[in-house]
């Protein structure tokens, strides 16, 4: 079944919400927010995806992927995250640059190319942002994480992923001195507005609640 880039992006967005929120069904407004689209636009596309038997969907109801839809979605996510890893590890792109390029490369159809890419990278479990990479069978390695905002004052943790993979946020993360597997100590937190002081590599930084809610740690 040939799908348009837009259809593939919808399937990918649905599956990402499922993976990140650990839910089976997604609301139309939630999907629209993830895609930065109006709910009416999303409803029209969902009708097309339903006709192709890729989603289970009734108007104003929750959405979930069919078995075929889930497989296609995981294939797209796998390609996207493998390309991000390749760009970062082999071509020395910065981690704030890889997402936009991978958005283009994820639509390549060659299964052989993707399998060769996976082998070249030695079958990685996680991409440069810490997101899990589905294997060829669609299996995803689960890592129990929490946000930095949930870490108590005086405790330490390790950054393993980010929620926001936008270029502007990733550049700010770099400015703070963080990268994957960095150790973080929560020095203090304001009760009023959750402004937090963190220590990374011996240096302290003041960060906002939005920042701490987008850093995933173990």
Consecutive 10-residue runs of the chain (218 residues): their mean pLDDT? Answer: 93 93 89 93 95 92 95 97 97 94 96 98 95 95 92 97 93 94 97 96 96 97
Distance CA 129, CA 111 (A): 24
Predicted confidence (pLDDT) per residue in 177-218, tens digit: 999 999 999 999 999 999 999 999 999 999 999 999 999 999
Q: How many CB atoms lie within 10 A of CB 19?
A: 17
| Contact predicate 50/39, CB 8 Å | no
Average pLDDT, the chain: 95
Under DSSP, the state recorded for 121 is T
Distance CA 61, CA 42 (A): 13
Residue whose pair of structure tokens reads 């593939």 in the numeric block: 8
Query: Residue 205 half-sphere exposure, CB side, CA atoms within 13 Å?
Result: 16
Residue whose pair of structure tokens reads 């979930």 in the numeric block: 64
C-alpha Rg value of the chain to the nearest Å: 19
User: CB within 8 A of 143, min separation 6: which ones?
Assistant: 126, 132, 160, 161, 218
pTM comes to 0.87
3-state class of 196 per DSSP?
strand
Distance CA 127, CA 96 (A): 12
Distance CA 140, CA 211 (A): 26
Distance CA 149, CA 171 (A): 20
Burial 126-144 (b: 16+ CB within 10 A, else e): bbbbbbbbbeeeeebeeee
């Amino acid at each position: 079944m040939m799908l348009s880039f837009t259809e593939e992006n919808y399937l990918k967005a649905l599956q990402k919400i499922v993976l990140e929120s650990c839910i089976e069904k997604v609301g139309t407004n939630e999907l629209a927010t993830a895609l930065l689209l109006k709910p009416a636009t999303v409803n029209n596309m969902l009708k097309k995806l339903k006709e192709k038997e890729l989603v289970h969907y009734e108007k104003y109801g929750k959405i979930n992927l069919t078995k075929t839809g889930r497989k296609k979605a995981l294939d797209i996510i796998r390609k996207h995250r493998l390309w991000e890893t390749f760009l970062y590890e082999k071509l020395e792109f910065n981690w704030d640059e890889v997402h936009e390029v991978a958005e283009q490369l994820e639509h390549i159809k060659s299964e052989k190319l993707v399998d060769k890419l996976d082998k070249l990278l030695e079958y990685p479990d996680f991409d440069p942002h810490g997101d899990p990479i589905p294997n060829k069978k669609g299996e995803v390695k689960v890592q129990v994480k929490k946000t930095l905002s949930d870490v108590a004052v005086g405790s330490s943790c390790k950054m393993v992923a980010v929620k926001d993979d936008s270029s502007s946020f990733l550049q700010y993360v770099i400015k703070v001195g963080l990268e994957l597997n960095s150790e973080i100590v929560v020095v203090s937190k304001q009760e009023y507005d959750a402004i937090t002081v963190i220590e990374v590599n011996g240096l302290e930084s003041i960060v906002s609640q939005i920042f701490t809610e987008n850093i995933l740690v173990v």
